[in-house]
Amino acid sequence: MRKRSIIGAVVAAAVAPLCAGIMALTMTPSAAVADSGPYPAGYETSTSLPNHTIYRPGTLPSEKLPIFVWGNGGCSANGTSQLNFLREIASHGFLAIASGSPNGSGSTTSQMLTQSIDWAVSENNRQGGKYYGRLDTGKIAVGGFSCGGLEAYAVSNDSRVTTTTIFSSGLLNDADDYQLRRLTKPIAYFVGGPSDIAYQNAIDDWGKLPAGLPAFMGNLNVGHGGTYGQTNGGEFGRVAVLYLKWRLKGDTSAGANFVGAGCGLCGTQWQIQQKNLTLDGGTPSPTPTPTPTPTPSGGPQGCSATYSVQDQWAGGFVAAVNVTAGGTAINGWRVALTLPGGATITSLWNGVNSGTSGAVTVTNQSYNGRLPAGQSTNFGFQGNGTGAGATVTCTAV
């Protein structure tokens, strides 16, 4: 189904010329409030990377700096619009590059994120430059807030990107879902809860992620604006640092905040969902959501289905249905879903539903109907009420 539009900016392509030179580091006026990291940070600009803002420790540490490239909210070309947030990240030993010049105007494009990556790799290899051999170009994260999150999606398939972070954002149209299907690296979502205008889009994307992809979602009920302008970027800044320390520096103590039923963010003000997360590449840890109770259908119809509740909260839930072909290939499927009393579907992905309460029929999308023998696909939905007790039956068509 088509998602609600949340962002007016259009992600386009543009190419900027590359010159030479770096302007001096600027310790911004808000630097009177100390960053929490061990490396007091500021920002600078470079004539070899026009229309960007580069956040880094004031004194480069001996350790190599992983790289974080960032798209601003509203696709704004103001590279200091999330200043507190990005300087906080830099203070923990990262090079963070925002699209847009300091206090700049206009709009950014997704290609500006690629330009940030290109520049960092080039500077790391430029003999005589202050970044020569000082950056960890094998550890690069891309991220963005709202419209900037759409830009991050657009470049997340860059082979140099090792993880993607989406802040209060989600794809606007089903036609763009190919960007989800091509994801191969870990992804994390940090969203402002049900009051966030991007919440439904993010939930929709979450349900369409490729099977087996390591993924984390945290919802903090602060709305779409997040906490970027608070001291050190507020709670979004704190968890972003923890996630980047884990994914880009291999800090498993930081990673423990995201993995397993007893994760550091579990049982806090954050609402947590997890998929395929491990600290060390071993067997995935249990998720903190209720243990799914599969409801299998019979097999004679050529396919089977299982239903599970992935998340349940007061007044709502997220559920998933796995569809598996039987002993022969099928060209389409139809699932009869019976919801418990009082439960209604508010949004559904990877399928087409007829009805929203009681007896509901869900059929395949054009891209997930053909299944070889024994192979599976899935659809999911968010609903109001309680998800436990639903039943499903699959029929091949």
Residue 24 within any structural domain of the chain: no
Residue 181 within any structural domain of the chain: yes
Which of 275, 292, 323 corresponds to the end of one domain? 275
3-class DSSP assignment, residue 338: strand
- What the block records as the tokens of 286 is 């249990």
pLDDT value of position 383: 84
pLDDT value of position 372: 87
198 burial level (CB within 10 Å; 0-12, 13-18, 19+): buried
Do both 256 and 140 map to the same domain?
yes
Do both 315 and 257 map to the same domain?
no
Range of the domain at 241: 29-275
pLDDT value of position 290: 43
Q: pLDDT by residue (tens digit) across 165-184?
A: 999 999 999 889 999 999 99
pLDDT value of position 318: 74
- What the block records as the tokens of 175 is 């036609």
Do both 50 and 170 map to the same domain?
yes
pLDDT value of position 3: 55
Do both 66 and 150 map to the same domain?
yes
Residue 298 within any structural domain of the chain: no
pLDDT value of position 26: 60
- Which positions of the chain have pLDDT values less than 50? 1-2, 5-22, 28-32, 282-283, 285-300
Residue 109 within any structural domain of the chain: yes
Residue 216 within any structural domain of the chain: yes
CA atoms of 293 and 236, how far apart (whole Å) = 33
Domain count, the chain: 2
Do both 164 and 97 map to the same domain?
yes
Question: Tokens 């700096």, residue?
Answer: 65
Angle, to 10 degrees, between the axis of helix 83-90 and the axis of helix 234-249?
30
3-class DSSP assignment, residue 32: helix
